[in-house]
Chains A and B, each alone.
Chain A
Amino acid sequence: MPADTEVPPIVEMRGITIRFPGVLALDNVDFTLRPGEVHSLMGENGAGKSTLIKALTGVYAIDSGTIAVAGERRTFHTAADAQEAGISTVYQEVNLCANLTVGENVMLGHEPRRGGGIDWRATQKEAARHMESLGLAIDPRSMLSSHSIAIQQLVAIIRAMVLEAKVLILDEPTSSLDRGEVEQLFEVIRDLRSKGVAILFVSHFLDQVYEISDRITVLRNGTLVGEHLIEELPRDALVTKMIGRELEDLATLEKSSHRAIDRSGTPVVRAEGLGKRGVLEPADLEVYEGEVVGIAGLLGSGRTELVRLLYGADRPDAGQVEVQGAHAKVHSPRHAIDQRISFSSENRRAEGVVADLTVAENIVLGMQARQGWVRKVPKKDQDAVVAEYIEALGVRPANPQALVGNLSGGNQQKVLLARWLATAPQLLILDEPTRGIDVGAKADIQKKVSELSSQGLSVIFISSELEEVLRLAQRVAVMRDRRKIGELDSTQVDLDGLIDYIANAGEGSAA
């Protein structure tokens, strides 16, 4: 435990538990926030960061546990309750009125009054004073929408100060800011810290977390892993805590990573200098026949961005793609599919399954899209393909007419895998295919990937679970902060080595 516990905490959350249908989102989590500190909340997707924040800000009701603010036990029913208690939140998407002026936004609801109306002159003056105190030199009479996201975020913070917030929650504030803007934001954060404001900071950027934080709390799968002072928690220890070690029974699965790959010929797919401004720095990637290439890195490191550019889901503004040695135009998913490249998104619900269609319709969708609408895949062929994959992947319920929206995550993932395998791809890109699914389904999917690659299918496999990556992939590309920082041979590296590489490699040159 950290040393300076004698400062009385401003926020004390004890034994917080929140249940959603079928999921334990938070399980008996403690969290403490002290005045005048920047406290980072760390964890991978689904670890419970946002749920904890929403519990604190009164958006979610807690099932058990207590919340105390400034030593007084509180129950927040709405976000307004929390705001009244001095807890303000600045979200990734700015929650302000774009059609009002900066000054009006800052003072909204707290305008000085005169007679029956608002004293606009005093309002602007007051706004200007608040803005000046945080060093923001823009005209309070300018429209909010005329400013960059970074400025809008600062305006949101200033607004929180008008509300006399004692706790400021910054949820991914830097995700759309460039380096200079981040500096400006950090200046403001440091200034507020020195004024005794407690700041809860959430970011996927490790460098920024280490630059600004005093303390870190780590969550994993809805449970508390620990609270640490920043200087007592080296980067690789943090990454290990965030990712954790997976269950034993998966470790007994067959390893495909030791299979020798012939890399003397032409790669199946080769990306050269593929990048997009503000999304990904240009990166190279090659995949050979029968090879599984893993991409490792934390969430937001650019791993998803890289494969989306490769697949044409987003349009790259730099670099090119070669398929079987020939230059290929991949500007849309259609082009990729014509080149027999398939991509299964990490975002199963929003970008994967078509929830209101049946299992059968979802599986056939990829084949059908490739054939065009005129030539319907004959009913007999459809039934055969659907039955084959339901059997081969063990989709449950094994009912082709069930609506996909009613299936569990693991079974939806199997349906998506079936959709792509049915199109007979030469390269299959799987982005987090095993996230949030049970161990059985996870093992099924890993087995299938291993088996198919041994038959010659090339696979790009992205996962937050590094053991999984090391087990399946012969080669691992490592990403950090939207850059590819290197490639490792997975026979030459173990889990700790990979974690160390993700956390520290090229540290000197990065900053």
Chain B
Amino acid sequence: MRSIWRHRLFWPVVALLTLIAVNSIARPNFIKFRVRDGELFGAIITILRDSAPLMLVALGMTIVIATRGIDLSVGAIMAVSGAVALTIIDNSGDAGNLGVVLIAVVAALLVSLVLGVWNGFLVSVLGIQPIIATLVLMLAGRGVALLITGGFITTVNSEPFSFIATGYLFVLPFAFFISVAAITVIGLVERRTALGVLTEAVGINPEASRLAGVRSRGIIWGAYIVSGTLAGLAGILYASNIRAADANAAGVFIELYAILAVVLGGTSLNGGKFSIAGTVIGVLIIQTLDSTILFLGVPSAQSPVFFAIVVVVVVVVQSPRIRNAIGRMSRSRQPKAAAVEPPVEDKQKAEVTR
């Protein structure tokens, strides 16, 4: 029993279950499913479908954060990806053609991959701080997207393209399968190969890893490429859902929600140990919260306040002071010397700033 609540996914799971329970009580429809034309509907299905873009972005963000980095450019990459795909379809003159849509999707993914290569180059080769390196594309990306669409919101009417976000396969939304596929591939690649543990080693102690012979440059570079490509896929989902490439609206603030999902899932922003399962739960918490806010009829202008409350709680619980306090409560008496050290650090800092 003790080991269960010590598990690092315990609190995220509790949070998710609590949200589901609250919803189930407040609106019995929440847990009901309806079948129509062989397709499954219901609030939970909607959550699974709508969470796909955030899920993809957050998976990539998890890997990047594990390397001690951060990728702020994911929203902008979504915009570029959508712009590339829709411009190709729009210019083809045959929007309904499956081949055209496939070419458009592959082209958009390739462009996203290249943007990931750019981010990774800045961070791993030039050694620019990740937050600055990815800020470049975060600011410039939407401009690039507007350039591609010629400054317009490109809209298309394409059956195959719309299918990506709104279609059904068997009885479940196609977008859900994309999510599951991404989770599975990332999970297998990280954990069945040694990539996961090497990524953690680089994130925890870059210098020790370098001296141990880990090719940290490749590992860090790869993380940004994965993040960029997944963001591109998320951009296609977004564009498919609204059947338009809206460079100014696609993926706005998604980098922050993705970071929130990663942190909710128990992966530290300091890098190192990461949890794919945690991130999945984090994304589902955010999406369920979103659905709850919508259901409660909170005006959309005020919904950020709810997210803010969650963020505040997470940050406070993770702060060193609170963790120390919890540690002190759980442990018995501390030796005196151990209590001497922390203030020492404060003093040194004070000295430096003086």
Contact = CB atoms under 8 A, between A and B. Distances in A.
Interface of A: 19-21, 58-61, 63, 78-80, 95, 311, 313, 332-334, 336-337, 343, 345, 350-357, 361, 365-366, 368-377, 419, 423
B211 to A, nearest CB: 5
A137 to B, nearest CB: 27
Contacts of A58: 347
B273 to A, nearest CB: 6
B212 A59 contact: no
A167 B210 CA distance: 42
A357 B201 contact: yes
Interface string B190-207: 001111011011001101
A343 B354 CA distance: 40
Contact of B214 (A20, A80, A345, A365): A365
Contact of B344 (A59, A355, A357): A59
A419 B213 CA distance: 11
A333 B208 contact: no
A19 B212 contact: no
B338 interface: yes
Given A365-B214, A373-B193, A357 B341 contact: no
Interface string B321-354: 0000000000000010110110010011011101
B197 A357 contact: yes
A61 B345 CA distance: 12
Contact of B341 (A20, A311, A366, A369): A20
A313 B208 CA distance: 11
B273 A373 contact: no
Contact of A79 (B195, B210, B341, B351): B351
B215 interface: yes
Contacts of B273: 356
B272 interface: yes
Given A20-B337, A21-B335, A368 B198 contact: yes
The 10 nearest A-B residue pairs measured at CB: A369-B213, A337-B213, A376-B194, A369-B214, A373-B195, A79-B351, A19-B337, A373-B194, A354-B205, A368-B194
Interface residues of B, number: 34
B213 A334 contact: yes
Given A20-B341, A59-B344, A361 B197 contact: yes
Contacts of A313: 210-211
A351 B210 CA distance: 9
A59 B347 contact: yes
A419 B272 CA distance: 20
A419 B348 CA distance: 35
Contacts of A352: 208, 211
B209 interface: yes
B219 interface: yes
A350 B207 contact: yes
A334 B215 contact: yes
Given A59-B344, A356-B272, A95 B352 contact: yes
B354 to A, nearest CB: 7
Given A351-B205, A369-B214, A370-B213, 4 more contacts: A61-B344, A333-B211, A352-B211, A365-B201
A425 B324 CA distance: 43
Contacts of B192: 376
A60 B213 contact: no
Contacts of B208: 345, 350-354
Nearest to A77: B347
B350 A78 contact: yes
A111 to B, nearest CB: 15
Contacts of A95: 351-352, 354
A361 B273 CA distance: 12
Given A78-B347, A333-B213, A369-B215, A354 B204 contact: yes
Interface in B158-207: 192-195, 197-198, 200-201, 204-205, 207
Nearest to A374: B193
A350 B194 CA distance: 23
Contacts of A375: 193-194
Nearest to B338: A21
A353 B201 CA distance: 9
Contacts of B335: 21
A95 B197 CA distance: 38
Tell which of B197, B200, B212, B340 has the most Cβ of chain A within 10 Å: B212
A63 B209 CA distance: 38
Contacts of B340: 20, 60-61
Contact of A366 (B195, B205, B213): B213
A376 B201 contact: no
A477 B84 CA distance: 64
A449 B200 CA distance: 30
B352 A345 contact: no
Given A21-B337, A354-B204, A333 B210 contact: yes
A351 to B, nearest CB: 5
B354 A80 contact: yes
A351 B201 contact: no
Contacts of B338: 21
Contacts of B204: 354-357
B197 to A, nearest CB: 6
Nearest to B198: A373
A184 B81 CA distance: 61
Contacts of B195: 373-374
B188 to A, nearest CB: 11
Nearest to A332: B210
B205 A355 contact: yes
A345 B341 CA distance: 26
Given A334-B215, A354-B208, A366-B212, A377 B194 contact: yes
Nearest to B341: A20
A333 B347 CA distance: 37
B344 A351 contact: no
Interface in B59-77: none
Nearest to A95: B352
A311 B211 CA distance: 9
A369 B347 contact: no
A355 B197 CA distance: 13
A337 B201 CA distance: 17
